[in-house]
Structure 1
Amino acid sequence: MKLKFLLAGGLILFVSTSQAQRRFRKSDDVESNYVPSNLFSPAFHTEKGNEFHAVNGDPGPKYWQNHVDYVINANIDTASKTLSATESITYTNNSPDNLQYLWLQLDQNTYKKDARSNFVTGNQPKAADHTTGYQLETVSIVVNGKPEVASYIVTDTRMQIRLPKALPAHGGKINLAIKYHYTIPGAFGARTDYTDTKNGKIYEIAQWFPRMCVYDDSQGWDTLPFLGSGEFYCEYGDIDYSVTVPWDMIVAGSGELVNPAEVLTQKQLARYTAAKNSDKTIMIRSADEVTQTSSRPVNKGALTWHFKMANTRDVAFGASKAFMWDAARINLPGGKKSLSMSVYPVESAGNDAWGRSTEYLKGAIEYFSAKWFVYPYPCAVNEAGIAGGMEYPGILFDGITDKTKDLFWVTAHEIGHNWFPMIVGSNERRYAWMDEGFNTFIDVYASDAFNKGEYAPKRDGEYAPGGGNPADEIVPVISDPNAPTIMTAPDAISEKYRHPITYFKPAFGLILLREQILGKDRFDYAFKNYIRQWAYKHPRPDDFFRSMENGAGEDLGWFWRGWYYNNYSLDLALTKAKYVKDSPAYGIEVTVVNKEAMAMPFTVEVKLKDGTKQRMYLPVETWLQNKSTTFTINTNSAAESVTIDPDNALPDMNRKNNTAKVD
C-alpha cells in the first residue's frame, strides 16, 4: 500500500540537538557507546527449528496450512450504493487439531460507528463517514446439500461460527453459506469506495466478502481485528466470483474473465484477443467510445461478469461506465504469458499519464518475474480511482491523477505486492515490514531496470523520503528515541513513523544486506530461495532470518538484532591516518573508532597525490571484540587523504569524521 511520508526536516533538527547532548563512555582511551558483546551476543534464535518450520528457514517436513475455496455471486445497486451477495465457502482443515469453531474476517465492519479502528488510528472519522457494515441475512452450515442455521457471534470485524461438532483434523471439510449486503463507503472508504468522474462513478470494491481467518501453527486462529494499518492475513484457495452490474458498466477484476463474449461487444472481444498477443498496448475501449452506447452490448438491464482466480488469498474489482480500457501481453520466463490491462476515466488519459499504465505494469511484472519469481496469474489490472495506491491479487487501485514517474513508481510498488505478501503469504497484520519493506526493496531495482532507467533512481516516495541519499535519510529515524522498531505491530506505529519504520528502514536494510554485507550474488540466491520455499505458504519472521542466513552462509544475528529489533545508530570515525615510519613506502596506519551501538563492514579509500584511488574492505568481524581498530594500508606513493565509506552507503550519523588528511 502507498502511504504519504511526512518526515525529514523536523527530525534532522532533532538529530543535531541530540548529537550535541550525547555523552560517550570512555574505555581504553576510546570515546564510544559501542559494546561488542551486546551486538554480537550469542543465541539470536531462541527457539530451535521444528517439524513445521525447519531450522534452515524452509517449511518443515510436517508443515501444513488450511485451504479455503469461495464461490460468490454479487450485485451492485448503483442507486442505493449497495453490494449484496451470496457466498459459498468450502473450508478444509489440514491442521492436526479438531476445530470446534471457525473465525471469519468481516472487514466492512471497520466503517461502523462503534468500530475499534475509530479509536486507534488517530484519525477519527467525521460523523457522516460511516456505514452499518455487514448486514448478515443468513449464515448457514451446509450438510448433505441442505443449509442449517449456524450459531454465530460478531465481534467488531470478526465472526465466530460455533460448530455443532468439531471439524476433524487432517483434511476435514465444511461448507458454509452466507447471504449478506452492505452499503459501499464513499470517498472515506480509503481502500474501497466510489467517486464521481464526468462520465460516471468509479467503484473500487475490496474487502467485500467474509473471509476465513488463518488458523496456523504459530497463533492458532489469528483473529486480530482490522484496524487499518495492519493489512491482511488470508488463506489460499480458488475463488469463483460473479458481479452483476448495469449493462453499461465495465468490470475489471482479479483473475481471468471467463465470459468475455457475454459482456463485450464483438469489436471489444477482437481487441481483447489481439492484446493477448501484442507487446504494444491495444485500446479495447477508447475515450470516444466511453460515451457511445454501441461500446456496450445491447441493453439488457444488467450484465453479469464472471471471474475465476486459482491459488489466491483474495480478489477485488473495479466497476464503472466511465472506464477506458487497454491491454498488452506480458512475456514471462519459460515462454509463459499473462495480460497487462488498465482501466481509467478520460480525465486520466494521455501519454504522460494513464496512457502508459499498461506499459508500466507490463514492465514491472516482467522484471519481477525474471528477477525473483514468475508471476502466476492470467492477468493484472491497474485501475484508476481515489484509493490512490492499494493492492490486491491481480489488481491495483492507483491514483486517478498520477502521472509519469509517480504513476510508474506506484504501479511497480503495488504490483510488487503480488510477490509480497500475495505469493509469499506473510502475516502483514502482524509484520508489515515483511510486506511493505520487502516490496519497497524490490521496486527500487525495478525503477533501475524499466526502459533503461527512465524513472531511475527511485530515491523518493517509498524509498528515500526526501529524494536524497537513503543512507543519510534513515539517520534521523534511527536516532529518534521515540521511533518504534521494525518489529513493532503495525497498528501500534503512529502515522509519523509508519512510512519510515514499515517501508523505508526495512527496505534500506535489505539494500545494506545485498550491497554492503553479503554481496549481490549471495543475497539474490538466498532471497530467491526464500521466495521459492514460501510461495503460497505462511512464513514467520524467523523463517526469513534463518533462510537468509543458511542460503547466504552467514550468521546475521547481529544485523537482525541491531536493525530489526532495535534502532541502533552507527557512527564510524576515522581518528588517525599517518604514514608508518613517516614514509609512504611503509604504508598508512589508520585508526577507525566505532562510536555507536551498531556495527557494519566498511570500505576505506585512500586518495593518492597522483590522482589515483585505492580501496580496502573490512568485514563486520572487525568489531567483534573492539571499539576501535588500527590497520595499515599498503601504499607506494604519497597520499592526500583517507576516507571511510567513500560512497556514503552506510547510515553513518556523522560524516564529518569520516575523512582525515594523511600526516
Structure 2
Amino acid sequence: MMKKMFSGLILTALFLGSPSIAQQGLENNQSDFGEFMNRKGTFTRTASGKPSENYWQNAADYQIEVTLDDEAHTLTGKVTIDYTNNSPEELSFVWLQLEQNRFTPDSRGTLTTPVQGNRYNGDIDGGYDISEVQATVGKRGAVSTKHLIEDTRMQVWFDEPIPAKGGTATISMNFSFKVPIKGMDRMGRLQVKDGWIYAFAQWYPKVSVFDDIEGWNVEPYLGAGEFYLEYGDFDYKVTVPYDHIVVGSGKLMNPKEVLSAELQNRYQDAQQSNETVYLVSPDEIKNTEITRPKQDGMITWHFQIENARDIAFASSESFIWDAAKINLPSGKTILAQSVYPKESDGQEAWSRSTEYSKASIEHYSEKWYEYPYDAATNVAADIGGMEYPGLNFCRYTSKGEGLWGVTDHEFGHNWFPMIVGSNERRYAWMDEGFNTFINHYSTLEFNDGEYPANLDQTRRYNNYFVNENREGIDTYPDVANTSNLGMVAYMKPGIGLIMLREYVLGPERFDNAFRSYIETWAYKHPQPSDFFNHMENVAGENLSWFWQGWFYGNGNIDLGINTVVPYSGNYLVVLTNKGDFPMPVLLEIEFEDGSKERQMLPVEIWQRGDNWNHLIRTDKRVVKVTIDPDKILPDVNLGNDSWPQPLYED
C-alpha cells in the first residue's frame, strides 16, 4: 500500500512540477468537436446524407444536329431541348449556359484573365451566333421567342409558366461558332501533319441547374470553375467531311453507314478482344478506300447516350484508331478506344492509351461503381486533360507515366462528377479531390504498380501546408489563386480522404461508406453536407472535427511526444497537440528485444485539452515510441513525432 501511494505522489509531482508533463482535463475543446456548419436534414435531404422522399431535380433531354466546316473552322447546327420541371414551383423562364461566349473580347472570363495569362487563356474572336429561338410549354403551347443573352448565360421566357411537379417545355434554337484554337485547355483545334484535330466541348447551348439549394445556378463561365449540369438523354448527329473519323460520348448508332465493311469487321473484332486492335493503323490514315464507304462530300455520324450530364466529340482526318474490350463486373462488355495522330504514335506513347483506358475503367467499376456508358474514348488533342461522359481529351504529346496519369485521372471523372453530379463550379474538391483519391488506388493496381502512386506520401506537400499564402479547400475555384488550385481542388482533399481511409476509419469502414455515397447520389446533385452526413452515418463515426479541421479550415496537424517516463514498471507517454485541430494518435512502441506493437488512441483524448498522458502497460523495456509510423498524416513538425533512446534507467 505504501509503495503504491509513494508512486502516486511521484506521478503527481511529475504532472505538477515538470513543464513537459502537463495536467490534463482542465480545458474544454468543444469548439473543435462541435458542429461547424448546419448539417441538419431538410425537406429534400435527410440528416443521414440521402435524398429524402421529397427530393427532386429537373431533367433535360437533347436532340442536336451540327455540321463541321473544316475550311472556315465553324460548327453550325440546331439544338432542341425537352425540359422537365420536377420542382414544386412554376417556372416562367429557364436559364441556359452559352459557354462559347467565353471566347469574346468583352466576356467576363476574358476580362478577368490576368494580363500575363494563365492556363485558362482562350481565343477572343469567337462566340455564338444564336437565331430562331423558340420556347413552348407543353405540346401545344404558344411559341415564345423572348430571350436575353448576358455573357455566358441566356434567359429564355415562356408565354405561360412551366407547371410544377412534372410540367414540360421545349426550347430550340440554331447556333454557330468559330472553333477556337485555344479553348481554355478544354476544347479547340490542333493542326498536325495530316490535318486538323477538332476537340468539341462546351459546344451547344445547355440548360443551367435549377435545384433545391438556391434555385437557378447561374455563375458565369470564367475559367477555373467547371460545370454543374442536369441529367438527361442525348441524341446527336455530327456531319463532317467524309474522310474524317468522329468519336463521341455514348454509342455510335450507325456504324454501317460511316464505316467500310472492313472497318466494321475490325470494329466487331475489337469488341471481343482483350488486346488492343487497330481499326485504322498508322499506314491507313486518309486511306478512305479501306476505312470509309465509297462516297465523297459529307457524312453524318450518329451517337446516343442516356442519363448523362454532358457530351463531347472529336473529329479529324488524321486519326489512328484502336480499341479493345472492357469487362464490367456485371458481365457486360463495352469498348475502350483511342484516337491519335502519327505524332502521338508509339509504345512509349499513345499506342498504350487503350490499354490504360481499359485498366482504368475496369478498376473503378470493380472497386466503386459500375461504369454506365457504352464506350470509353481517349482523344489526343492540344489539351492537358479534360473529361466528359465517356470521353477524354488528353495531351497529344503525353507519354509513359504521364499518359497513364492523365488518362486514368480523366476517366476517373466519370465517377466524379459524371455519375455523382456535384457542382464543380463551386465545389471543385468534390470532383477533382475525390477523383485524385481514387486515382491513387488505380495506379497502385495498374500492371502491379508499373507507375508510382504517392498521394499517401503526404509530407512531401508540407511546404504548401506551412506557406502563409495557402488557401482552404472550401475556396471556390474561380476565386482561388491559380498557383494554389492544384492543392485546393486536387491534392489536399485527396490527402484528406487518404487520411480518413488509411488512418481514421480504416479501409473497410471507409469503403463501405464511400461506395454507399456513390450509389446513393448516382445521377443526383449532392451538396458537401450530404457527403459529410452520409460518410458519418454509414461509417458510424462523428467526424465533425475532421471536416472542420481539414475541409473547412486552413490549419495544420502537429502531434508530438513531449517525453516518455517509466512509471511502476510501465511507461508514461506524454503527448501534445500543437496543431490547429485534433487527430487520433497511432503509436508504435519498440521494445529492447526488437519487438513492436501499435496502439491507436482515439481523437477524444483531445476533448478536454491539448495534452494527454498515455500509460503503456508492459513488462518490457521501451526503447522507442513513434507517432504515425507509416507517415500517413501530413504532420508539419517532424521533430517531435518520436521519442529516441530513453535517458532513464529502470
- TM-score w.r.t. length of structure 2: 0.93
Which one-letter code corresponds to 1:498 in the other structure? L
Q: Distance in 2 between matches of 1:38 and 1:141?
A: 52
User: What are the equivalent positions in structure 2 for 1:127-526 lying under 5 Å apart?
Assistant: 129-142=123-136, 148-294=143-289, 295-455=291-451, 457-459=452-454, 463=455, 470-526=457-513
Q: Is the CA contact 2:421–2:526 (under 8 Å) kept in the aligned structure 1?
A: yes
Which one-letter code corresponds to 2:30 in the other structure? S
* Structure 1 unaligned spans of 5+: 1-25, 464-468
Give the equivalent residue in structure 1 for 2:6: none
Distance 1:312 1:123, change over 3 A: farther
CA offset at residue 45 of structure 1? 4.4
Distance 1:289 1:35, change over 3 A: farther
CA offset at residue 284 of structure 1? 0.5
Q: Distance in 2 between matches of 1:381 and 1:166?
A: 40
Which one-letter code corresponds to 1:37 in the other structure? Q
CA offset at residue 146 of structure 1? 9.2
Q: Is the CA contact 2:310–2:388 (under 8 Å) kept in the aligned structure 1?
A: yes
Q: Distance in 2 between matches of 1:638 and 1:121?
A: 63
Q: Is the CA contact 2:192–2:341 (under 8 Å) kept in the aligned structure 1?
A: yes
CA offset at residue 607 of structure 1? 2.1
Which of 579, 585, 592 is the matching residue for 1:602?
Answer: 585
Q: Distance in 2 between matches of 1:225 and 1:638?
A: 65
Give the equivalent residue in structure 1 for 2:10: none
Q: 2:525 aligns to what SS in structure 1? A: coil
Q: Is the CA contact 1:118–1:124 (under 8 Å) kept in the aligned structure 2?
A: no
Distance 1:101 1:68, change over 3 A: same
Q: Distance in 1 between matches of 2:151 and 2:462?
A: 39
Give the equivalent residue in structure 2 for 1:14: none
Q: Distance in 1 between matches of 2:516 and 2:115?
A: 40
Q: Distance in 1 between matches of 2:483 and 2:51?
A: 36
CA offset at residue 573 of structure 1? 1.5
CA offset at residue 481 of structure 1? 3.3
Q: Is the CA contact 2:573–2:614 (under 8 Å) kept in the aligned structure 1?
A: yes
Q: 2:594 aligns to what SS in structure 1? A: coil
Which of 117, 120, 124 is the matching residue for 2:112?
Answer: 120
Q: Distance in 1 between matches of 2:260 and 2:106?
A: 46
Q: Is the CA contact 1:104–1:212 (under 8 Å) kept in the aligned structure 2?
A: yes
Which of 13, 36, 49 is the matching residue for 2:29?
Answer: 36
Give the equivalent residue in structure 2 for 1:553: 540
CA offset at residue 571 of structure 1? 1.1
Give the equivalent residue in structure 2 for 1:626: 609
Give the equivalent residue in structure 1 for 2:44: 52
Which one-letter code corresponds to 1:517 in the other structure? V
CA offset at residue 65 of structure 1? 0.6
Question: Share of identical aligned residues, percent?
Answer: 45
Q: Is the CA contact 2:20–2:563 (under 8 Å) kept in the aligned structure 1?
A: no
Give the equivalent residue in structure 2 for 1:576: 563
Which one-letter code corresponds to 1:39 in the other structure? D
Which one-letter code corresponds to 2:217 in the other structure? D
Q: 1:166 aligns to what SS in structure 2? A: strand
User: Which of the two has higher C-alpha Rg?
Assistant: 2
Which of 103, 110, 115 is the matching residue for 1:111?
Answer: 103
Distance 1:202 1:123, change over 3 A: farther
Q: Is the CA contact 2:49–2:531 (under 8 Å) kept in the aligned structure 1?
A: yes
Distance 1:606 1:116, change over 3 A: same
Give the equivalent residue in structure 2 for 1:64: 56
Q: 1:73 aligns to what SS in structure 2? A: strand
Q: Distance in 2 between matches of 1:50 and 1:529?
A: 20
Q: Distance in 2 between matches of 1:159 and 1:499?
A: 31
Q: Is the CA contact 1:589–1:632 (under 8 Å) kept in the aligned structure 2?
A: yes
Give the equivalent residue in structure 2 for 1:91: 83
Q: Is the CA contact 1:104–1:160 (under 8 Å) kept in the aligned structure 2?
A: yes
Q: Is the CA contact 1:475–1:569 (under 8 Å) kept in the aligned structure 2?
A: no
Q: Distance in 1 between matches of 2:221 and 2:248?
A: 23
* Structure 2 unaligned spans of 5+: 1-18
Distance 1:612 1:549, change over 3 A: same
Give the equivalent residue in structure 2 for 1:22: none
Which one-letter code corresponds to 1:117 in the other structure? G
Q: Is the CA contact 1:244–1:305 (under 8 Å) kept in the aligned structure 2?
A: yes
RMSD: 2.0
Which one-letter code corresponds to 2:408 in the other structure? A
CA offset at residue 635 of structure 1? 2.8
Q: Distance in 1 between matches of 2:369 and 2:39?
A: 30
Can you list the C-alpha shifts for 1:343-362, whole angstroms capped at 9, x where unaligned? 00111111111111111111
More divergent stretch after superposition (103-112 vs 632-641):
632-641
Q: 1:515 aligns to what SS in structure 2? A: helix
Q: Distance in 2 between matches of 1:98 and 1:473?
A: 53
Distance 1:146 1:262, change over 3 A: farther
Q: Is the CA contact 1:147–1:177 (under 8 Å) kept in the aligned structure 2?
A: no
Q: Distance in 2 between matches of 1:187 and 1:218?
A: 34
Q: Is the CA contact 2:142–2:159 (under 8 Å) kept in the aligned structure 1?
A: no
Q: Does 1:635 align with 2:618?
A: yes
Q: Is the CA contact 1:194–1:203 (under 8 Å) kept in the aligned structure 2?
A: yes
Give the equivalent residue in structure 2 for 1:15: none
Q: Is the CA contact 1:35–1:597 (under 8 Å) kept in the aligned structure 2?
A: no
Q: Distance in 1 between matches of 2:149 and 2:286?
A: 44
Q: 1:568 aligns to what SS in structure 2? A: coil
Q: Is the CA contact 1:140–1:147 (under 8 Å) kept in the aligned structure 2?
A: no
How many residues are matched? 622
Q: Distance in 2 between matches of 1:94 and 1:128?
A: 36
Q: Is the CA contact 1:69–1:237 (under 8 Å) kept in the aligned structure 2?
A: yes
Q: 1:318 aligns to what SS in structure 2? A: strand
Q: Does 1:75 align with 2:67?
A: yes
